[in-house]
A = this chain, B = another copy of it.
Amino acid sequence: MKIDPKQPIGVFDSGIGGLTVVRALMERLPFENIVYFGDTARVPYGVKSVETIAHYTTQIAEFLLEKQVKVLIIACNTMAAVAAQVVRDLSPVPVLDVIEAGAIAAVEATRTRQIGVIGTPTTVNSNAYARAIQVMASDARIYSQACPLFVPLVEEGWLDHEVTRLTAQEYLKPVLAEHIDTLVLGCTHYPLLKPLLQNVMGKDVKLVDSAEAMAARTAALLAEQGLTNTDPTLPRYEFYVTDVPVKFQTIGERFLGRSLNHVHVVKW
């Protein structure tokens, strides 16, 4: 299959959190066309079973492949944790996932090889970050912690709120006790909590933002495979969602860091 560099990058997520990845891609690769799919009707995935997640993930990947994407980016940590192989098995184009990208960035960042990982319960239970990190650094020790309240706190917009600070202190206490030097933010919602988490963890701990890591990985892959779009015309950004929930626009724009247009609703 011949791939044209002008074909869009396909990014998908269980909801709108993956817009943090789109934002990082827009900044890192400003000429690329992007098609985003967010399964806003069925979000959150972090509390669903592995079978259900694999089923939904397949459906979304097939939708984006029909849109002629040149690369598929799994922006959702939960999908990456439990269904990345399913996507690789069905896709004729390269597949990148946020866990692999975060793991690479974490191994580059750590000096002590004591790495913390925070995410949803499904991501943490899957142990996918530990596996991805140990493939590259078998001497690394990984300490992970599920933080189920962070997603609703971000969606409530309490990014710098006493309640969020107390919640973070409680969740991160066991991770802090392990004297890690690097903390992977293993959920697309968490980059919005970066200042607060940096404050709770202390300035000596490096935070790995998986959205930025993903954009770096994508840039490297496109360059390697000669797929970088160099056409300087204004890129097209298209957003597909399965529902337009209450406060969608407000929350979406908070994640994307700019206005959110060209939103299409897909009814499944």
Question: Chain A interface (Cβ within 8 Å of chain B)?
Answer: 40-42, 47-49, 52, 121-122, 125, 148-149, 151-153, 155-156, 162-163, 166-167, 170, 243-247
Contact = CB atoms under 8 A, between A and B. Distances in A.
Q: Which 8 A-B pairs have the closest CB atoms?
A: A152-B152, A47-B245, A121-B246, A52-B243, A163-B166, A163-B167, A48-B245, A48-B243
Contacts of A48: 40-41, 243, 245-246
A247 B243 CA distance: 26
A48 B244 CA distance: 7
Contact of A49 (B121, B167, B244): B244
A247 B125 CA distance: 11
A246 B170 contact: no
B166 A125 contact: no
A254 to B, nearest CB: 15
A121 B243 CA distance: 16
23 contacts: A41-B42, A41-B48, A41-B52, A42-B42, A47-B155, A47-B246, A47-B247, A48-B243, A48-B245, A48-B246, A49-B243, A49-B244, A49-B246, A52-B243, A121-B247, A125-B246, A148-B156, A149-B149, A149-B156, A149-B163, A162-B166, A163-B166, A166-B166
A149 B158 CA distance: 10
A152 B148 contact: yes
Contacts of A155: 47, 148
Contacts of A42: 41-42
A200 B254 CA distance: 31
A31 to B, nearest CB: 34
Contacts of A40: 48
Nearest to A125: B246
A149 B167 CA distance: 12
Contacts of A151: 152
Nearest to A169: B163
A245 B149 contact: no
A46 to B, nearest CB: 8
Contacts of A245: 47-49
Nearest to A53: B243
Nearest to A170: B163
